[in-house]
Amino acid sequence: MKIYTKTGDSGTTGLIGGTRLPKYDLRIECFGTVDELNSYLGLIRDQEIPSDSKAILINIQEQLFALGSNLATDPELQNNLKGKRFQTPVLKSEATTLLETAIDSMNDGLPPLTHFILPGGHSTVSYCHIARSICRRSERITTKLHAKQPVSKEILIYLNRLSDFLFVLARKLSMELKAEEIKWFPKKTN
């Protein structure tokens, strides 16, 4: 497989199914942002974190590839691709359930959340917060696309839950790494 095809030199990108769109198209922005998020998850996974956290991050990265391939498929051709050389994997509700189970499990061992927390305290925790904010951006962009061209409801739900997972993971890693969680208290103005 050749890495460079030169087909994008004119400022367009091909969707699965062959349709070409400008590189600035909202659909391209959606799966490009999911790719950015996936790269940050790889960075988190490369840190000194427990093996159970690494395992779930690998699962999430695999789900994001499925999610991204759905976003990268021309919705007009989605049904026509069944039985063809490449079938787009489907993101199932079980993927969201896995996130919810992990969130609940991690949250059980954490002190109650009473205030907003400033991102930071340790580089690994900061990477989680960066990934969380990229995930939120991905969710906003995908919701915008959904308003124009329907997107699988499971994709929207998964992105929403994933940002929650990344927030709780940041808190869990803060505790494990003995990093200080700095609570945010609004300053009173006169």
Establish if 50 belongs to a structural domain.
Answer: yes
Establish if 110 belongs to a structural domain.
Answer: no
CATH number, residue 45: 1.20.1200.10
Give one DSSP letter per residue of the chain, joined into a string.
--S--STTTTSEEEPBTS-EEETTSHHHHHHHHHHHHHHHHHHHHTSS--HHHHHHHHHHHHHHHHHHHHHTB-TTTTGGGTTSS--PPPPPHHHHHHHHHHHHHHHHTS----SEE-S-SSHHHHHHHHHHHHHHHHHHHHHHHHHHS---HHHHHHHHHHHHHHHHHHHHHHHHTTPPPPEE-PPP--
Give, to the nearest 10 degrees, the angle between helix 153-176 and helix 51-71. 160
The domain total for the chain is 1
Instruction: State the pLDDT at residue 137.
Output: 98
Domain that holds residue 142: 22-73+93-99+115-183
Establish if 159 belongs to a structural domain.
Answer: yes
Structure tokens given for 21 = 């769109």
Instruction: State the pLDDT at residue 123.
Output: 96
Under-70 pLDDT residues of the chain? 1, 7, 77-87, 190
This prediction's pTM: 0.88
Establish if 28 belongs to a structural domain.
Answer: yes
Tens digits of per-residue pLDDT, 72-100?
A: 888 776 655 555 556 678 888 999 999 99
Establish if 68 belongs to a structural domain.
Answer: yes
Provide the 10 A C-beta neighbour count for residue 140. 12
